[in-house]
Structure 1
């Protein structure tokens, strides 16, 4: 049986094309109501009726069949609810007030309706507008029904941050990500609130979550700029996006954002919204929240922010990674100036206040990236903090014992010696630790390059100390009645099947203990150990802080057991200080949110019970540097120490003390391969000498006197005197310094980065080993037509200045040359800074 064609509609068209399969629409009467319709209702299917009786032909038949199925699945309870709602609507329609309102509305719309019937395009426009509005409402409903369940920013959990400060209070390193505190509305500093509103949402206190005026303004400005230059999102919208939504730039997300912003504004006061925004915003350097950012960049809580600091933070939220001040301070300051101008425009501050803030811009006080060379020390500090207070949830600030000047000197000395002789002598690694007599760690170099290897050769590497261990043998003998001038016989010695030999294979016959120790005679040490007993030697070593395994074997006297550089250095520190024992430490104080969690007690080491033996041991240690294997370690102050070398030159050590410093040095290879004839009195003693010489001079210059209490403690050598650059008042080409020597001034030519030429007069810069080629050309361009003043210094060199800056320091700081042998501590520190930052010739 063939399908019956659809019944024609009013104008001969198929009914399903015009009326979507429903009954034909009757013509309207002049009143505007359909024929046959009551004024109480516009008609419709009776209660409980389905759509099965209606035609369902043509392309919409499937739609109506689906609708019929849905209707059939509606339960009795739902139908009852519909019936009650319909009855309520009927009663409301029958109310006199409703009828009067309907009559008035109908009367008002009759002329418009009649006009619309006469003008067909108005009907089309009205239908189009209705369709558009319906689509908008439908898409909005879709956007709301597809809100993400777990939307918003996801911040990965991180360990609590550790801000590390040196002994002088300077923050130089951070570990972890600073979390800061969640601010309450009353804790938000007014300057920060005004700054963020001025630059991000000036109409924040006027709009209701979505600022249409701001959207239009942003659209016009972006169109004029030919790209996206300004956003139209309010602070409320940004908070909604951070808290609930994804960061996708889609229409759906914008619709969700707008609706949720209107809802959030109806739920929370403005101050609460602003506070939540400041607690959630990202400010770069891995920190979220204004308080965390304030702690990270300025080392203070948010409530202490100044106007310039608040302006800088407010300027970061637009581009935190690009403008983060620890990497782009100039960019951050430029953006802060824009924030200050915006605050003036909004009346938040005066023009005078803005100018004052611009003249004193914010300065970053807490570095984000730890200087490479200090990482070994920072690792040690982090371990100590965990041992002292555990892993608490709060950010902590730790005051340490590190002397940054000595640290720079240590890194520079190790690097320079290894760069100069390492390849030739087959030495790949070195370590150094400097301590105060009470155990405070002043400098630590755990390896040649932390970026290549984080293994700390001061605290983790266990190596044979060689003759360094003889300290415990001789001290035990002195405790048992031997004296420095007691005589022993250097002769072939055999214990069981073991027969120790002296370095060089020679024997000296009768020698004093002083001479035997100074020249590191092995046979005498073994005989002494046998005489006093290996267990007694082990007990002495334990009392001085050696915790590593010490086997009860005759070879222990020559350092066959393994120990760390820190252990052996603390033992020598105890002898130098005349203390029973010395405990190395790197942490003085730990603070968390202005609360003191730990403070190291100010207690002096316990004096040793065997002072006579300690005095005799100091005599022996001094003889090593004065006349023995440690001659290369001689400095201009009284000092003592001991060299150590293991079999086949696999390890070479020198540990000693001078002034108020106790310093240990180790050289070797991580794979335990032999070095090329390196002994403890060779490269390690030279490194020790270079470090101690520069370190004592630097400490004297800083006014740090050596500790008293030991008669052998030496006065530090005075700081080397360098001629200051005179600024002559008369002849612009030069003048004289106070000693009558010529002072050169002008725009010099560059021979190399360490040599300048003033009209045929050659000037060698103090402390710089010059480089030619590209480095010299770059320096020449930098100095072109600039005024340089040079005054004579020691050794025929000159100390030059440019715009008040030391030119030698400027060159070394930028990696334009290497420090020469006459470089002062400040120049060595500048070179090490360039090395740590990997700039100039240190770039890799």
Structure 2
């Protein structure tokens, strides 16, 4: 019994063991089937993915531009601005330099870039699985904060040329496909050539040639080992490692590049020990105030040049030394809280220096060319020009006395009147009452016409107060007007661009000097120069003296809101303005102080290498001012502008206007009453009886010149007590 029971138990255990073994076999075979299916499906999906990837890469490769099209791609125009001596003063826009073919790129530059950016460049197919896997493992294990720095040179090229820098999965996938397409279509040498000529190195420099010229002042074909290491190190962070921004950071990064090159066998141990800190870097010139000039000059290219997107070089009239001196003069003399501006012209109108404010970075508003401010008494230039053209001379006697014109009663700055004086003294000390009387006598419209004739482009009103500078003007226009006086009364056209060339030297534009026109007779120009010189020698502009002849005029507006000084010496004309942008009062601001001092500080440098020039102030009066019986009020129209009887401005050599006010054009018949040459005949004065002078005009306002003299000048007939004609007072 016991034996039978034991057998039953044994068989039962054996049966259970068989069942367990069968179940285990079934489980094992299930796992095997699962992994088999997983492998088959995974392999199939992977194969399908490879097929789709291949198709995507193939289509991408077919749609890529050709190698030569990629070479020609340029996103924006580069403009290099040069000073009058040819030195580069600023480079605007992205710079692409010259395209360097692969065979001309120094091998050390290729090795440096491959060593630091993509050491397996010559073995991968556009993406680097080894590098990507290592980066993923480092990210998972926490050895790297994020998975990054895995882009190959080919991927970087794809991103720079076709994509943006967004860190999205979609962009990374497209980048990988495009990289493989590039590898499919182009050789490794072509890809490296494209990369080295297109990658960004900071400071607006794209490509190794632009970077080499920017940082080392020579083409990329001449790069040394140390220089190549510096450039290669910039790609990771152009702004952080830029040698112009942080030399120490650039040197440290270049040392890392040299070490990697040594580890990869690209250079010898001795080459790796090169002293990177000894590399001679290009000296960057300060471009702060220069931008005021370029902001004014470069927009003119739209008119001067046909549409072009190729790199150009703009050769300008700017003198680098004078620009620095002008900047220092404005910054060193502008009152606290005030702005300042300066324009300086050569005798032909070339702009030598232009400063539009105390700091371009702080405010790029150009006060030299755009701001409309009142010039104060410097406007009296046009009042006295009109008076001199009407027959006054610097020695004529005038009367400083209280005056009222149409309810307007100007006062002198000191509140006093000195009585009888001469024109020279009245101008030198900027006597307001005399200027008001002169403007009233010659006509405020005549003063406005004179200002327009000398280049004032802003609107001009003819209210009596205009003689004291109530019209707002641009500083550059005032500089132009005074430059015309310096040129003996001939017109001057300011310009800043001498020529424009392509990067290869092909001439695109050449400045041609504008036709000069005599704006006033020479004796008028000499007379106003006499007055301007007196203003600096003995008058309100004494602070502008520089040890050689200077002619100029101060200007101060009400409540000291604007200070002006404009003058010239040795062929250089300079205008200075100071004031606040909000037009508030500036304590102590007067044209004869800070502006005149800034003028003198700048001009001492500007004319230091020029010969001393004495002014020609000797008056050779025209016949009509010397002989009363034969004088002619309007002068010779063949010599300069004049105003006809109807108040029309007549250009030199043009005939009289017709009934419709139009002047005859070339080849047209002259107007009735004109001479054979088409000009108006001279108008003779007919003397008549006169009455004794009362010292006041028809409106009762005091006059600077007595009636006898005015009658002689303008040819006015007045009843005389006797038939014997009298002459105006003798004038030296």
Both proteins in one fold, TM over 0.5? yes
Matched, 1:575 2:492: no
Q: Which residue of 2 aligns with 1:197?
A: 114
Which of 310, 331, 336 matches 1:422? Answer: 336
The Cα of 1:567 is off from its aligned counterpart by 0.7
Give the 3-state SS of the residue equivalent to 1:685 in structure 2: helix
Change in Cα spacing, 1:372 to 1:502, as seen in structure 2 (3 Å) is same
Q: Give the 5 Å matches for 1:263-302.
A: 263-294=181-212, 296-297=214-215, 302=220
- CA distance in 1: counterparts of 2:508 and 2:251, whole angstroms: 35
Deviation at 1:643, TM superposition (A): 0.9
Confirm or deny: 8 A CA contact 1:160 1:179 kept in the other structure: no
Residues 236 and 261, structure 1, Cα contact 8 Å, conserved in 2 = yes
* Contact 2:329/2:602, CA 8 A, preserved across alignment: yes
Is the 8 Å Cα contact of residues 438 and 604 (structure 1) preserved in structure 2? no
Q: Deviations over 1:161-183 (max 9, x none)?
A: 43333344443434333355666
C-alpha distance in 2, partners of 1:224/1:186? 44
| Residue 438 of structure 2, aligned match among 520, 523, 528 | 528
**Matched position secondary structure for 1:545:** coil
Match of 2:610 among 686, 691, 706: 706
| Residue matched to 2:374 | 464
**In 2 relative to 1, CA 655–274 (structure 1 residues): closer, same or farther, beyond 3 Å?**
same
What is the CA–CA distance in structure 1 between the aligned matches of 2:142 and 2:561, rounded to whole Å? 68
* Preserved contact between residue 578 and residue 608 of structure 1 (Cα < 8 Å): no
Please state how far the C-alpha of 1:227 moved relative to its aligned partner. Answer: 3.4
Partner of 2:288: 372
Distance in 2 (alpha carbons) for counterparts of 1:292 and 1:193: 16
- Within 5 Å, give how 1:745-764 maps onto structure 2: none
Q: In the alignment, which residue of structure 1 is the partner of 2:83? A: 166
| SS at 2:403 equivalent | coil
Task: Give 1:818-833 correspondences, 5 Å limit.
Answer: none
Q: Is there any run of 5+ residues in structure 2 with no aligned partner, and where?
A: 1-18, 21-25, 618-732
Q: For each residue in 1:431-480, what CA deviation from the matched residue of structure 2 results, as whole angstroms up to 9, or x when unmatched?
A: 22233333332333323443443322211111222211211222333344
Of structures 1 and 2, the one with the larger relative CO (CA 8 A, separation 6+) is 2
More displaced stretch, 453-462 vs 563-572? 453-462
Give a deviation string over 1:70-90, Cα, whole Å, max 9, x none.
xxxxxxxxxxxxxxxxxxxxx
CA RMSD of aligned residues (A): 4.7
How far, CA to CA, are the matches of 2:538 and 2:162 in structure 1? 76
Contact 1:447–1:453 (CA<8 Å) still a contact in 2? yes
**Contact in 2 for aligned 1:143/1:253 (Cα 8 Å):** no
CA distance in 2, matches of 1:579, 1:652: 25
2:387/2:438 contact within 8 Å kept:
yes
Q: Give the C-alpha shift of residue 572 in structure 1.
A: 1.2
- Which residue does 2:254 correspond to in 1? 336
Give the superposition deviation at 1:627. 1.2
Shift of 1:580: 0.6
- Asked if structure 1 preserves the Cα contact closer than 8 Å seen for 2:428 and 2:540, the reply is yes
Aligned residue number for residue 476 of structure 2: 566
TM-score by length of 1: 0.59
- Call closer, same or farther: CA 1:127–1:251 in 2, change over 3 Å: farther
CA distance in 2, matches of 1:213, 1:272: 23
CA contact (8 A) 2:96 2:198 kept: no
Give me the whole-angstrom Cα distance separating, in 1, the residues matched to 2:388 and 2:170. Answer: 86
Q: Does 1:651 align with 2:557?
A: no
3-state DSSP class of the match of 1:635? coil
Match among 303, 317, 338 for residue 235 of structure 2: 317
1:519-551, CA deviations, whole angstroms, 9 ceiling, x for partnerless residues? 111232233334444444334333322222233
Retained in 1: the 8 A contact 2:340–2:356? yes
Q: Structure 1: any 5+ residue segments left out of the alignment?
A: 1-10, 13-17, 20-116, 714-844
Q: How far, CA to CA, are the matches of 1:412 and 1:304 in structure 2?
A: 38
TM-score in terms of structure 2 length: 0.67
Distance 1:387 1:332, change over 3 A: farther
- In structure 2, the residue matched to 1:439 is 349
2:448 aligned to which of 519, 534, 538: 538
Contact map agreement 1:435 1:661 (CA 8 A) in 2? yes
Cα distance change on mapping 1:236 and 1:501 into 2, 3 Å: closer
The 1:134–1:356 alpha-carbon spacing in structure 2 relative to 1, beyond 3 Å, is same
Q: Does 1:684 align with 2:595?
A: yes
Match of 2:309 in 1: 393
Cα distance, 1:642 vs structure 2? 0.7
Deviations 1:68-117 (A, max 9, x none): xxxxxxxxxxxxxxxxxxxxxxxxxxxxxxxxxxxxxxxxxxxxxxxxx9
Q: Residue 141 and residue 547 in structure 1: after superposition, are their counterparts in 2 closer, same or farther (change >3 A)?
A: same
2:540 match: 629
Three-state SS of the structure 2 residue aligned to 1:320 is: coil
Alignment of 1:766-781 (within 5 A): none
d(CA) in 2 for partners of 1:471 and 1:513? 13
CA displacement 1:785-806 (0-9 Å, x = unmatched): xxxxxxxxxxxxxxxxxxxxxx
Deviation at 1:184, TM superposition (A): 5.6
For residue 592 of structure 1, what is the aligned residue in structure 2? 502
Structure 1 residues 802-825: Cα deviation after superposition (integer angstroms, max 9, x where no partner): xxxxxxxxxxxxxxxxxxxxxxxx
User: Is 2:590 aligned against 1:673?
Assistant: no
Partner SS for 1:488: strand
Pick aligned residue for 2:93 from 163, 170, 176: 176
Mark the CA change 1:586 to 1:308 in structure 2 (over 3 Å): closer, same or farther: farther
Matched, 1:478 2:382: no
CA contact (8 A) 2:389 2:520 kept: no
Q: Measured at CA, do residues 478 and 260 of structure 1 come closer, stay the same or move farther in structure 2, by a change above 3 Å? A: closer
Shift of 1:288: 4.2
Partners of 1:641 and 1:252 lie apart in 2 by 69
